[in-house]
Structure 1
């Protein structure tokens, strides 16, 4: 594999920091950027940079991607051959009360990324989509060819919009782009707003954990190293154009083993050696009953599909969390 110059956006985030580190380990020139917003503690983002990027000689520029001039200036300085666009406003429930943040970070910023990639003739754009695009579908496992035109949150709507925007640019201008539908990513250096992280914090403090819909929701928990492996493999396997076909593709990256939330909690109890105190709550607006990835397309394209067992991944998260929290 020849060395590439890769721009990783959202590089102080959970997935972005791991992807940037992995690409650097593989010998690629990595340009990292983030806006370090306060959706959750910026201190954790700076800790990721210090732990995962700095030891590899990487810095993380502060760039606001919703500002087109900043995006153009970034590309002119760095001249990336490849782009991994992971910056976004995350979170389903937050989108109910802060919709404008999603418009700016997920739509306006993405339009700037697309236009600049087109102008600079980037070899391949890989961007984060989400399993949320499948909405409340019960037709499982979720296939990339399934209908995704009924989102149940603004977050999901913006991610589906990203796929449509990228397809249009690929069709019109012929540059390769791949959208990655991530499924419930977890692991060391994760996001505090995710259930596995917040449950761990509360359980270790002896507090009740909020569990929605009787704990009967199912989630396809996918370990961070598996996500990174999929991202990196796909980055260097761009889709090709064909007759009446744009060089654009979407891929599920999930563990293909959905777990009932109550069973997830039982596994977390064993890992932490703490019994959970549960506060059962009604299903929340924007939530979906299940996520379940069909990973056949990923396997066929790059010979890989996630398979880290939940207990193994949670043990690794526990070890990181106890070390980070007790530092």
Structure 2
């Protein structure tokens, strides 16, 4: 068995590669090391988490390069985590999302189809629920009213994967991630943004005047869900399934900030602001389907996970970063 992991230098990708490495599974990664955030963090992440994983520098829009990699590596399964991420950035640079999340995804689907990949596990997002969802978010709810282009591209991924399952029998599993956090996380997301700012004594922007709730999911729980899904390819007709991977316990934003303050030993200077375009007021995962299918059961509350993030930020960036 050979597993191809796309987005291997990303936050979730590097942790998945580490777990595969520890399990002794042959994994090959790819990443384009783009500059959405500092590529040095990605390199340091790989060095710390999965130094022995073979990671190639390649963009999903490079059809010839991607085909050559498939022909060389001959993956039997693919974990597709590469994407242009971020809700707010999609308002500024929409073409990056179409290139990576739509064009790149079709390129990957075509190769999985033609090269006989047994199971494709791909990253979707809780953002797909948009304005249609009512907490707790269930996989059966509509996803046709996205609040951002990022969310629209992820919903499109699910539709495209379903189509390839229907037309060609490609077994595919989509995973809707709910605000994943942990050490070595993305620096554009609230857990790292807030932790670094509080440590450095900088103000933090608190949107919607703090009236927000998020289903924060610790990275170790997410990795367990990714690999659990990988081991259980869909047997449906067509063979495509979608699962929520979240903590199913939404946290008030003010409570989230308070845990960071306690871990940092400093108060936060909060600047209250209105709601940001594209954001959602609340996310909450119904994870019953994932639990029934492959035993998904998150175990890490923010009281344990967030202090680890603060400690890592202090170690990696320093108190004044």
TM-score scaled by length of structure 1: 0.96
Q: CA deviation at 1:321?
A: 2.0
| Partner SS, residue 131 of structure 2 | coil
| Partner SS, residue 27 of structure 2 | strand
Match of 2:248 among 231, 248, 256: 256
Q: CA deviation at 1:138?
A: 5.1
The runs of 5 or more residues in structure 2 that have no matched partner are none
Equivalent in the alignment of 2:306: 314
| Partner SS, residue 50 of structure 2 | helix
Match of 1:157 among 152, 156, 162: 152
Match of 1:197 among 192, 195, 199: 192
Q: 2: CA distance between counterparts of 1:215 and 1:46?
A: 34
Alignment of 1:215-226 (within 5 A): 215-226=210-221
User: Aligned residues, how many?
Assistant: 319
Q: CA deviation at 1:53?
A: 1.5
Equivalent in the alignment of 1:293: 285
Kept in 2, the 8 Å contact 1:138–1:290? The answer is no
Equivalent in the alignment of 1:79: 74
| Partner SS, residue 135 of structure 1 | helix
Q: 2: CA distance between counterparts of 1:196 and 1:140?
A: 22
Kept in 1, the 8 Å contact 2:78–2:120? The answer is yes
Equivalent in the alignment of 2:25: 28
Equivalent in the alignment of 1:183: 178
| Partner SS, residue 51 of structure 1 | helix
Equivalent in the alignment of 1:174: 169
Match of 1:50 among 43, 47, 51: 47
Q: CA deviation at 1:20?
A: 0.8
Equivalent in the alignment of 1:7: 4
Kept in 2, the 8 Å contact 1:211–1:279? The answer is yes
Equivalent in the alignment of 2:266: 274
TM-score scaled by length of structure 2: 0.97
Moved over 3 A (4+): none
Q: CA deviation at 1:87?
A: 0.2
